[in-house]
Amino acid sequence: MVDIHTHILPALDDGADSMEEAVTMAQMAFDDGIGHIVATPHHHWVPIPLKEMKSKVAALQASIDKAGIDIKIHTGHEVHLYRQTLLDLQRKHICSLAGGSYLLVEPDFYNYDDATDAILEELFDRGFKLVMAHPERILPLIGNFHKIEWFVERGGLVQLTAKSLYPNAQPNILEASIELLQNDMAHIIASDMHGESYRPAGLTQARDIAAKWVGEKKARAMVNDTPLEVINN
């Protein structure tokens, strides 16, 4: 499986605290059946260019290889949508997923307005392909997914967070996830793992739960084929 949303790079944002924890997270991901991980620190916390990101990923890869864990780590960012996003892009402080044409974009948790749509439109116009991170956790979108129908119609992909589907998820988040699945508005499941105990990988369990709503074939695509296409694009 391919996990395109993680905070595994150590000591950068609110993700892994140390290299040791990052390696433990990789081991947990491997045990879950994951072979590729995209490191996506919050871009506005860690505004670094691709060259620097590559060296951080290489250091983590070396530690993972040394531990004998068969996982490939890729560069990336979780791109926060706010008034400075386009400026950050211009400054080359934003890394695409695995260096390709996809950006992982995250709307603000409390505010989704016309300005958010305008940034998304501008990114599409510039030729980027987009994956929207966990709309089921974005308060102004819950119950209002008609607001992102245009995004999906324009080819945008929607990423659910694995834990949003677990039986112990907050009821409103679980309900929102099921609504997205039932309306064919969810394309990828990712862990958004932040630590060995904070949202660790668990794509297998989430895939199996999603299968109840969309069938096994589509659920498998959400953790295999579709995220693989994203990192190969």
Which has the closest alpha carbon to 162: 129, 131, 133? 133
Residue 138 beta carbon to Fe ion: minimum distance, rounded to whole angstroms: 12
Residue 56 beta carbon to Fe ion: minimum distance, rounded to whole angstroms: 16
Do 29 and 204 touch, CB atoms closer than 8 A? no
Give the angle 160-100-3 at the CA atoms, nearest 5°. Answer: 30
Of residues 7 and 70, the one with the C-beta less far from Fe ion: 7
Tell whether residue 3 is a contact of Fe ion (CB under 5 A): no
Q: Which residue of 105, 178, 192, 209 would you call a contact of Fe ion, by CB under 5 A?
A: 192
The amino acid that residue 222 corresponds to is M
Of residues 32 and 192, the one with the C-beta less far from Fe ion: 192
The count of chain residues that interact with Fe ion, using the rule CB under 5 A, is 2
Question: What part of residues 110-129 is at the interface with Fe ion (CB under 5 A)?
Answer: none
Question: What part of residues 54-93 is at the interface with Fe ion (CB under 5 A)?
Answer: 78
The residues with which 37 forms a beta bridge, in sequence order, are 3, 73
Of residues 195 and 220, the one with the C-beta less far from Fe ion: 195
Of residues 12 and 68, the one with the C-beta less far from Fe ion: 12
**Contact partners, residue 149, CB within 8 Å, separation at least 6:** 185
Of residues 45 and 124, the one with the C-beta less far from Fe ion: 45
Question: Residue 228 is inside which H or E element, if any?
Answer: helix 225-231
The amino acid that residue 213 corresponds to is W
Helix (H, G, I), strand (E, B) or coil at 155: coil
Residue 41 beta carbon to Fe ion: minimum distance, rounded to whole angstroms: 8
Residue 148 beta carbon to Fe ion: minimum distance, rounded to whole angstroms: 18
Residue 132 beta carbon to Fe ion: minimum distance, rounded to whole angstroms: 12
DSSP 145: G
Residue span 137-176 as binding mask against Fe ion, x where in contact by CB under 5 A, dash where not: ----------------------------------------
Of residues 136 and 192, the one with the C-beta less far from Fe ion: 192
* Rg, the chain, Cα only: 16
Phi-psi region of 114 (alpha: psi -120 to 50; beta: other; left: phi over 0): alpha
Residues at the contact surface with Fe ion, assessed by CB under 5 A: 78, 192
